[in-house]
Amino acid sequence: MAKGRSKIRRHIQTSDKRLREDADVNLPPIKLDFLRAITDDTGIFQHSKFGTPNRLEGYTTDDNARALIAITKYSQIEGDSKSDRLIDTYLSFLLHMQRTDGKMHNFLSYDRNFLDDEGSEECIGHTLWACGYVLNSRLSAERRLVAKELFDRAFRWVCFFKSPRAVACAILGLCHYHKAYTDDQNLTRNIETLSDELLDYFANTRSGDWRWFEPYLTYVNGRLPQALFEAYRETKQARYIRVAEESLKFLLEVQIINKQFVPIGNYGWYKKGEQRSFYDQQSVEAASMTEAALSAYRETDNCQYKAMARTIFDWFLGKNTQNAFVYKSSTGSCYDGITEKGLNCNQGAEANVCYLSSRIELQTTK
């Protein structure tokens, strides 16, 4: 199947007619029902068995950080207190999971026991991004002070990061921090230092037909160009937007097939020089690519990127290789992804908070 699909004509350009059609199609309403259902007074559950929270799997810092970003976005567009409990739950979870040295635990059991000594680099990166987002919000001063303390304690470990995705999350967090503290030149310097690290990854791997940061495409690929677009926004250094556009266009060439978004499957990924995997497709991929395309649109004012964001997001709404609705309108929930046989009917935290985050981005990006 993969060999045959590799011959399918790629499509990046979108006509003005399609742009008008996309503008006329209403987005699903934003619902928090399922988010509340999979969140208890500790945090958001990592996994669900179909639509029922799976307590056995406990909680993760990664998911609660993502949830904090999504619900903070929601609070900014609604301007009311309906989301306060969720915000406090997710922020309190991060506070609980931070070690005395600033590193993060990632896994917590249902009975509130730590299940690891320390979390991954990306766990710290997600925490930095979430706390930066809170800092650059209209949430209460007390919540923003908690987020600042969490960020400042965790940031000391960024210099040891080896994962480009962890670096990207840290950049995204720093960019929001900088929006809150625009006169702090150290923030600008740190954004540039980390963004230059991503450029080094890119330079070391890039070749004529492979314009990427690593010799493989795996998960949440959109976060890397997204981070560079946001770094350009804060620094106006042209080298960041050049690599951001080149790498995003590469992702679009690989993943837009016959005008549909076809994310890299996590069953085998896509190694340079080999055939790409088409399944299993994950909801987080569609969400991260939607947000990357919207970042590109904001920084370039190129409407093609906004059209691509809608094409990618439509993956949730049945425009995918299985013609399956990944978003469940009756509950406001999102399935984990698509397999070769159809939907993965579990509805975990990652899929739901990433869907919500990208859905809000589409609404707020004009």
- Residue 25 is predicted with a pLDDT of 59
For residue 49, list its beta bridge partners: 52
Query: φ and ψ at 157, to 5 degrees?
Result: -95, -5
Query: φ and ψ at 247, to 5 degrees?
Result: -75, -35
CA angle 200, 206, 211 (to 5 degrees): 115
- Contacts by 105-108, CB closer than 8 A, 24 or more apart: 105/61, 106/60, 106/61, 106/62, 107/58, 107/59, 107/60, 107/61, 108/42, 108/43, 108/58, 108/59, 108/60, 108/61
Number of domains in the chain: 1
Are the C-beta atoms of residues 189 and 163 closer than 8 Å to each other?
A: no
- Residue 80 is predicted with a pLDDT of 67
For residue 345, list its beta bridge partners: none
* pTM, entire model: 0.92
- Residue 18 is predicted with a pLDDT of 44
Name residue 273's amino acid.
Answer: G
User: Mind listing the pLDDT tens digit of every residue in the chain (366 residues)?
Assistant: 333 333 323 333 333 344 334 443 589 999 999 999 999 999 999 999 999 999 999 999 999 999 999 999 999 998 767 799 999 999 999 999 999 999 999 999 999 999 999 999 999 999 999 999 999 999 999 999 999 999 999 999 999 999 999 999 999 999 999 999 999 999 999 999 999 999 999 999 999 899 999 999 999 999 999 999 999 999 999 999 999 999 999 999 999 999 999 999 999 999 999 999 999 999 999 999 999 999 999 999 999 999 999 999 999 999 999 999 999 999 999 999 999 999 999 999 999 999 999 999 999 998
Q: Structural domain of residue 95, as residue ranges?
A: 2-364
Q: Which residues of 103-137 are buried (b: 16+ CB within 10 A; e: fewer)?
A: bbbbbbeeeeeeeeeebbbbbbbbbbbbbbbbbbb
Distance (Å) of CA 131 to CA 120, 159, 185, 189, 293? 17, 18, 19, 19, 23
- Residue 78 is predicted with a pLDDT of 84
Residue 225's domain is classified under what CATH number? Answer: 1.50.10.10
Query: φ and ψ at 336, to 5 degrees?
Result: -65, -30
